Amino acid sequence: MPKKIDPITVEIIQSSLQAACDEMFIAMRKTAMSSIIYEVLDFGTAVTDSNGNIAASGAGIPAFIAMCDKAVQAVLNKFDDKEIKPGDIFATNDPYNGGVTHLNDVIVVMPVFSGKKRIAWTANIAHWPDLGGMAPGGISADATEIFQEGLQLPVIKMFNQGKPIQSVIDIIISNSRVPQYTKGDMWAAIASIRVGEKRIRDIAEKYGRETFEKSVELFMEYGEKSSLDALRKLKNGTYYGEDILDNGEKIQVKVTITNKEFIVDLRNNPKQDSGPNNASYDGTVVSAQMAFKGVTSSDFICNAGTFRPLKVICDEGSMFNPTRPAAQGIYYETDIRSYDLIWKTISHLNPDKSTAGSFASICGTFMGGTHPDTNEPFIIIEPQIGGWGASAAGDGMSANFSAFHGDTFNTPAEIHEARHGLYVDQMRLNNQEGGEGKYNGGKGIIMDYRVRSKNAWVSVAYTRSKTLPWSLKNGREGSANYIEVIRKNKKIEKYSVVTGLGLEPGDIVRIYTGNGGGFGDPKKRSKELIKNDLLNEYITKAQAKKYFGFKK
């Protein structure tokens, strides 16, 4: 090892790694076939050190980035070093074995060698549209075991020294209802990690292998120091929080903070769900990582060192740490529940970041059928945007994705209409009551998909449909997440959870996402803000009078 590396070189190498991740991200976005990837950006890219510890990451979903290291570590646990060679590519989607999430989220990883020594890994995780299972799109609220949710890839080798293992690829493509999209997304992911592998080799060659490895190590130490510095600014103690799920069950957490540790204790929670509402232990850890990062530091330092002070405790066999073969298709709603619970418990420790509850659901909307113009099958996977909670600083944000999704986007109406064979009739802010306060919770949305296909269907699994976003300081709770199916005969059906519901041409699927919780007594809202709300049609005159006491 070099005796000493100047901090400027460390920073340049770290920035170069970040640039490599960003280039991987762009390669994926530009070449993927599915709109959930190239429009929504439902994917992530990362680089780890040789042992699978996160060193740098690209944009995209925060919850995805922290899953890449666990996939690399699963490869290292399964394969001997002599079986891992330059040009190899491995894949997993198994939440019990490095996949972390559900079977649609496939992680591909590639080792990076400098000479004969492995120095890093590149990784890509993305939501592939369909890998089989009992329901199109792989997500079914009726699944009772993981075997019903699609094809499992239990840490497999896809490429051997640069050459595809065709039999493995054939199995993957043959298990998809939309093979052209799955094949395109797979090759986009492979291109992405290959780009990263080349860039990292170039960095190591430029600065020297030992300097590269030591710089990565030093930056992880810096990430740990940054977190410990932030912990020392928080009040030590044990904090208890609880919430109620839509099915009436209570979930709870104890968060213990010291100057050296941040312990999330999720024991004594409900047993694993008989359906798909379970999240792997690794997924629960990722949720805790997001909350930990949110309350400690808002800088861009985020690597394995950042999370060294964090410890997560779960009962095996619980909804936050299920045992095989429990289904995990709707893991994302369970992960957002644990994140939201932790955040509710600790956000007051940093008053500048303390907010009321948000709509806090992925609101994953799955639709499909046969395109009426091309007769080709299509599958829509669309997370929805909603309202965030208000704070002492002001109103909550309107029409934003949940904390789980981060830097993602909604699919443009033009894409839906051209590629998915339906019409988007409206997308507007939710004007329903909920979230009123001195500062109002952000607005959710109301969105209409009008069906054109004869064999169309819709599946959803929204939470916070009964237990609403919490308020602070005498504000009002937010509103619910749900959908309405408005049949062409004008009959209205309401759902928060449904799988494969049949649709006919002319039917409308209307999305409602919740308003965030309010902060402070609504009667203390300033007249100027109320006037602006009326001018912008955020509230009606009747609502202004009812909740804010405003008469003119």
Tokens 């030590």 -> residue: 236
In a domain, 14, yes or no: yes
Q: Are strands 89-92 and 105-114 parallel, antiparallel or unpaired?
A: antiparallel
pLDDT in tens, 402-430: 988 877 888 999 999 998 889 999 999 99
- Here the tokens at position 271 are 């047993």
**Residue 61 in contact with residue 404, Cβ under 8 Å?**
yes
Does the residue 432 lie in any domain? yes
Measured N-to-C along each axis, helices 209-231 and 281-296 cross at an angle, to the nearest 10 degrees, of 70
Alpha-carbon distance values, 487 to 491, 494, 506, 509 (Å): 5, 11, 7, 9
- Give the range of the structural domain holding residue 501, as residue numbers without chain letter: 355-519
Q: What local confidence, expressed as pLDDT, does residue 298 receive?
A: 65
Residue 64 is predicted with a pLDDT of: 83
Residue 287 lies in a domain: no
How high is the pLDDT of residue 445? 98
pLDDT of residue 3: 61
Q: Which of 189, 222, 255 is the last residue of a domain?
A: 222
- Percent of the chain surpassing pLDDT 70: 99
Lowest mean pLDDT among 118-127, 272-281, 295-304: 295-304
* Residue ending a domain, choose from 222, 247, 281: 222
Residues 18 and 166 in one domain: yes
Total structural domains within the chain: 2
Tens of pLDDT, residue by residue over 347-385, are: 888 777 789 999 999 999 999 999 999 888 999 999 999
271 within domain boundaries = no
Contact status, residue 99 vs residue 92, Cβ threshold 8 Å = yes
Torsion, Cα of 370, 275, 358, 355 (10° steps): -150
Residues 216 and 359 in one domain: no
Would you say residue 425 lies in a domain?
yes
Of the candidate ranges 58-67, 194-203, 448-457, the one whose mean pLDDT is the lowest: 58-67
Which of the listed residues 180, 196, 222 is the one where a domain comes to its end?
222
Residue in the block written with tokens 């113009």:
373
pLDDT one-digit tens code per residue, 288-324: 999 998 888 767 778 899 999 999 999 999 999 999 9
Distance CA 453, CA 375 (A): 9
pTM of this structure: 0.93
Spatial separation of the C-alpha atoms in residues 5 and 234, rounded to whole Å: 32
Residues 435/390, Cβ–Cβ less than 8 Å: yes
Confidence of residue 123 (pLDDT cuts 50, 70, 90): very high
Residue 79: inside a domain: yes
The verdict on residue 404 lying in a domain is yes
| The amino acid at 263 | I
- Structural domain contains residue 205: yes
Helix residue ranges per DSSP H, 175-253: 179-207, 209-231
Tell me the one-letter amino acid at 363. C
